[in-house]
Structure 1
């Protein structure tokens, strides 16, 4: 059974959908990336619903959820509250959590409040330290052609990150470290209107490379040992969430495993969907057993 609807949260209404609502397995809640992106690119994860409910939702401010203009709403603590409100409204007493990218930031912050009933956390292409992420991107930029490196540096220094040349430079970065499929999937391009750049700008900044928003100092590495439920940390071999950092995060958690998707960048669920689904499915099954 499929269900979709809205949940009232602090600041407005949030859109959600549940695949296979009546299945007997422990539900999995999917937290999308961004901030300010949407669940659109993660639709393929409904394939995990053969034996459990899969819940996707668009965080407030993007996708099919309300887009209030109150800038004070765009802070991590409110998103943590939002997740708690969604769990309560949908009666998700027990759940697995699957976060991707910024969704892992949110997943960690939520798990560290020690909520009851969380069976496991999947950290997919994790961002658990903004300072470390920034360092990793500086190293990634150094792998690009010199001309692209110079464009990125110049535009960031001059504050011209809305220019066409900066967008083209980001395009080159994305081809290597975000999604390596060529051509880039048309269906992903069609979901661009679900994003809200303002949320991203306030929380993160003008680009992946320099964190200037209110997440600038976020770093939960010293607390990862407090997440005691089973965890799995995954990333692509060419991911902007680098294998080295992802494995480091995994080493800090108390009950964790680690997996690299060898032919992916930041979107293994799009780039290698069959392997991604198999790894996540097997992990969820092993926890439930």
Structure 2
């Protein structure tokens, strides 16, 4: 399998990318948008499996993360949806796929992919929104509901540290991990590529803290009021929704996509939380491959 890595220049910065397979040969290429905001490509690396079906798969690290340019000194207001949309568009044009491509966005990546799709770009052929909320208000309310099902001592530790401002404490980290092990990735131990992403975020949490906050369930960053619900009817391409039965992106958070995107279908993986692509890897890859082949892209 041909694998190529490189950098796309963007506004004086560099976006790292990797292509698995051959662009221009076979099926429509698929671009993978990782989550966070502030993760790395590592934890969604498994989508490279889709290249086995004759489809080039393009991973990249969004600026501020992974192998792309880090900007730890940038103020919070620098990190915007529009910035990451422009970076994506630049990557599509740099790689010469802007006239025909599919997008798969996971978590924040799905939110970003939906933002791209509502603008009706001419080259977009299909969309996969994986484990993504349609609004952060829904996400936050559901996260609080999921927190109430945690052991009481875990709830108390989370609340105590949030109120005290000691969210960097070992106690808070350990309590947060209980939530993550239930609703982010249920495999134990976490797969190496998942652990690698979280380790990278610990080293440089700039983007995550600016746009999200300290944890998945304590959203105080610039995205806290984000919603795409009132624009979803603008998406004109076939769309696949993916989520896990134990997902922090609960059915309530995903439902607006199912209700409002005109051409949509939804698969819930019964033995997964936020990462069916690692928790039920083979079944997830088959679902995505069947969808893309079925809409002939």
Could you tell me the TM-score, scaled by structure 2's length? 0.93
1:215 Cα shift? 0.8
SS at match of 1:27: strand
Following superposition, the deviation at residue 187 of structure 1 comes to 4.3
Q: How far off its partner does 1:151 sit?
A: 1.3
Q: Distance in 1 between matches of 2:29 and 2:285?
A: 15
| Equivalent of 2:243 in 221, 224, 235 | 235
Within the candidate set 108, 123, 126, 1:117 is matched to: 123
Partner of 1:56: 59
The answer (yes or no) to whether the contact 2:140–2:218 under 8 Å persists in 1 is: yes
| C-alpha distance in structure 2 between counterparts of 1:78 and 1:224, whole Å | 20
Report the Cα offset of residue 11 of structure 1. 4.9
CA distance in structure 2 between the aligned counterparts of 1:35 and 1:25, rounded to whole angstroms: 29
1:211 is paired with a residue of what secondary structure?
A: coil
Q: Which residue of 2 aligns with 1:98?
A: 104
In structure 2, C-alpha distance between the alignment counterparts of 1:83 and 1:31, rounded to whole Å: 9
Matching of residue 148 in structure 1 with residue 154 in structure 2: yes
Matched, 1:282 2:290: yes
1:131 aligned to which of 123, 137, 149 = 137
- C-alpha displacement of 1:213: 1.0
Change (3 A) 1:163 1:265: same
Q: For structure 1, which segment, 201-210 or 246-255, has the greater mean C-alpha deviation from structure 2 after superposition?
A: 246-255
Counterpart-to-counterpart distance in 1, 2:113 and 2:215 = 22
Aligned length: 289
Match of 1:17 in 2: 18
How far residue 193 of structure 1 moved from its aligned partner, in angstroms, is 4.0
Q: Is residue 48–residue 54 contact of structure 1 (8 Å, CA) maintained in 2?
A: yes
CA distance in 1, matches of 2:69, 2:191: 27
Q: Please tell me the root mean square deviation across aligned C-alpha atoms, in Å.
A: 1.4
Deviation string, structure 1 residues 131-166 (Cα, Å, up to 9, x no partner): 110001001001101111111122222211111111
Is the 2:62–2:68 Cα contact (8 Å) retained in structure 1? yes
SS of 1:13's equivalent in the other structure is strand
Residue 191 of structure 1 and its aligned partner are, at CA, apart by: 4.0
Gaps of 5+ in 1: none
Greater CA deviation, 272-281 or 206-215? 206-215
5+ residue gaps, structure 2: none
Q: What's the counterpart of residue 29 of structure 2?
A: 27
Q: CA deviation at 1:113?
A: 2.0
Which stretch of structure 1 is more off in the superposition, 247-256 or 92-101?
Answer: 247-256
Provide the residue aligned with 1:70 in structure 2: 74
Give the TM-score, by structure 1 length: 0.96
Distance 1:202 1:25, change over 3 A: same
Residue 183 of structure 1, CA deviation: 2.5
